[in-house]
Chain A
Amino acid sequence: MAEYRLEMHGVSKSFPGVKALDQVNLCVRPGTVHALMGENGAGKSTLMKCLFGIYKMDEGEVLVDGEKMHIANPDEALHHGLAMVHQELQPVPDRTIAENMYLGRYPLKSVGPLKIVDHKKMNEETVKWLENVKMPFDPKKKLGELSISQMQSVEIAKAVSQDAKLIILDEPTSSLTDNEVEALFKIVRDLRSRGVSFIYISHKMAEIRQIADDITIMRDGTYVGSWNMEEISDGEIVKQMVGRELTNVYPPLDNTLGDVLMEVKGYTSINDRSFKDCSFTLRRGEILGFGGLVGAQRTELMEAIFGIRHIKAGEINLNGKPITVKCPHDAIKNGIGMITEDRRGTGILGCLSIADNVSIASLDQYLEAGVKLNKKKIEDLVQDNVGKLSIKTPNSKELIQNLSGGNQQKVIISRWLANNPDVLIMDEPTRGIDVGAKYEIYQIMIELAKQGKGIIMISSEMPELLGVSNRIMVMCNGKITGELEREEATQENVMKYATQF
């Protein structure tokens, strides 16, 4: 038997403008759980996509059980015994467990000239495989009636039924309760003892400690190293994950802080697996950063404050007065604006002009006689912003979908400048934007803070978070786990709180 179940050597992958993976290695021993850790954007998912042939790697080789392989697509990967349980499960909830297990490979039987699905065989086989992972379910039950963790177990059973020797679990516990995590670990341990290997992608330190045998750490698309779990301490793992030089340049943070502008108390989502009991304050003229890893529920918390999501408990005081926010309209009326993370999905009005995109949140200001919009006033506003934010566009009638990502983002920022809220929440404000435009956006944020507004910035880029925040709140698993003043905010400190659970 080969020493390693899976070996990946010198894997590199470039996308236009970025080197996503640079000479990454990963070696997984048979019958072990191998943790793969790294910050957001470290390249874990890209590496897995290269392994499964979803992306074509530029360089590097893959060996399965010591044999060199070329894997072109997930189907081929499965033939070689590699299976992936996705972070977002993609089952068909309205069909039965058995049908999901055998999706795309239904056993057939002949009835005269016809080939029909052999339900009896499919159900019997399913029971067998479910027992394999200690899940005594009725195979005829609809998959959608199971809990997420049970669906995950079904996915694992499916992988095992397809003779998988290596199963990749991508953030498997992000939406599970403690008991469910324990149940999942039991299955993983059991399969491990029978020789199945796992690659376990997670941000949660405690879990990694509990389940993993080995660990590989990645940072910014590069390979940092691999260790046996016993050889490395938690502190060392954090250090290796973030150990980069902070070289990026940020504009000077010369805003001054005023008194308390907004107070959020005990915000708790109606979804039990989302944010719980989150409290924080925001001062006038402050840029408050929210750090954390994917799945920390930062976006969910902010979207709830803005009224996109619902809460079962919590209150907000704005300017010393309690406010009720049930929908974005309420939030805006009270002086809260939000630039959402998903620019395409909830930001731009693609088939409308720049002028329409800028003015949509502040049309009330341009009404004449309460009815007619003053187009000249709107045009002035748009021109003002196009100049101030140096938006590159031929004219204000250009459709926003024809602009670059950075310019689109500036248009969305203009939308809120025109609306002039007291509090502006910016969720990943520089995602997918080139370096020059990023710098300009930071300048705008600081300028707004100087005008006495409160800015909340969610950022998953550590240097940005440290570079432009006056103060940082760190979240993990739906809870606020740390608050760091600018002086004490280091990569290690943020990461320590971000992997608290």
Chain B
Amino acid sequence: MKNKINVKDTLINNGIILLLAVLVVYVSIAVPAFRSIANLKNLAINAAPRVIVALGVSGCLITKGTDLSAGRMVGLAGCLAGIMLQKADTPGKIWPNFPQLNVFVVLLICIAICAVFGLINGIVVAYLNVPAFIGTLGMQMIVYGIALVITNAVPIGGYRADFTTVTQGNIAGVPYLFLYLVLAAAIIWFVYNYTRHGKYMYAIGGNESAAEVSGVNVKKTKIIIYVTAACLYAIAGFLFSGKSGGASVNLGMSYELEAIAACTIGGVSVNGGIGRVSGVIIGVAVFELLKSSLQFLGVNTNYQFIAQGIVIIVAIALDIRKYIAKK
């Protein structure tokens, strides 16, 4: 009897993933190109930077916060990386006198700049007690504004070869991007499961007052979370920019919403305290599979947005349902 109820609950709680699994199986059969190696590779390349963004957002969500500035930070980092890595002879080079730095130095600069914005997010949320929803919304606009000022809304292209190699290259048929994803996920997995910071993060999400009473430095932990998140957005922005060989201020727009949705589908609770790295990866994968499946079925892009929106709402409703059932 008890088992029966559990089966039903499991089905409902994972309803989205199950439905998408059915969809994927259907599309694989109906449209063979969908299951080609080329498409799988394409999926992995598309998913990789998105997983990195979602990993960043997951920490904020686990502590009952959120980060709406994620997408715009991706955009800013992407533009900055692009500007700094334009070929010396690109016509209309945005910073004509900027030195030709090593591609990894450029990455570090992007990370450092985004980390500052992450620090501000953290301080606003932890010390000024501004709800994360509002604080990071403000940051979203600020970062977008800065990206506009820097680029003057001019699209950036003409990247150096080393930039495109680092972001578009393969090793034994495995895209570098996929390796970066594995590396980032492994590090975050370690942090979440094997460090004091990870334990504190889950404790704050589980019960912030109790965590504080147990001696957890709540403010510091939150700040670290928002800074880490921003660093991840910077890396993702760098990768997006290089992967597509160009960037504009519109890069990253609404990625934070996709990331939040993916986290939720992957079991990161919007009520805090719960969430695993594996879930985040599954969540992004599900989302990318949905997009790709609809594409292969020939569904008009406009309808794809409607489908994605429905998936987000249903996913969060199911998540809340779990929480209420536990009370």
Contact = CB atoms under 8 A, between A and B. Distances in A.
Contacts of A333: 215
Q: Which of A349, A350, A356 has the most CB of B within 10 A?
A: A349
Contacts of B202: 349, 352, 356
Contact of B196 (A329, A345, A350, A364): A364
B213 interface: yes
B210 A348 contact: yes
A340 interface: yes
A349 B207 contact: yes
A415 B211 CA distance: 12
Interface residues of B, number: 25
Contact of B274 (A308, A338, A340, A351): A351
A352 B215 contact: no
B8 interface: no
B206 A349 contact: yes
Interface SS, A side:
helix
B242 to A, nearest CB: 31
A340 B213 contact: yes
Interface stretch (A230-238, A370-378, A388-396): A370-378
Interface in B205-234: 205-207, 209-217
B42 interface: no
Contacts of B210: 345-349
A356 B326 contact: no
Contact of A373 (B199, B205, B274): B199
B263 to A, nearest CB: 16
B199 A350 contact: no
B75 interface: no
Contacts of A346: 207, 209-210, 213
B206 A329 contact: no
Interface string A322-362: 00000111001100001010000111111110001001110
B215 A356 contact: no
Contact of A348 (B195, B207, B215, B272): B207
A69 interface: no
Nearest to B323: A351
Contacts of B206: 349-352
A246 interface: no
Contacts of B194: 372-373, 375
A401 interface: yes
A146 interface: no
Contacts of A356: 199, 202-203
A349 B273 contact: yes
B199 A361 contact: no
Interface of A: 306, 308, 327-329, 332-333, 338, 340, 345-352, 356, 359-361, 363-364, 367, 371-373, 375, 401, 415, 419
8 contacts: A328-B212, A332-B215, A346-B209, A347-B213, A351-B205, A352-B202, A372-B190, A401-B326
Given A346-B210, A351-B269, A367-B196, 15 more contacts: A308-B212, A327-B212, A338-B213, A345-B207, A347-B213, A349-B273, A351-B272, A352-B273, A356-B199, A360-B203, A360-B215, A360-B216, A363-B196, A372-B195, A373-B199
Interface of B: 190, 194-196, 199-200, 202-203, 205-207, 209-217, 269, 272-274, 326
Instruction: Kindly list the 6 A-B residue pairs having the minimum CB-CB distance in the complex, ordered from nearest.
Output: A349-B206, A332-B215, A351-B273, A361-B214, A346-B209, A363-B196
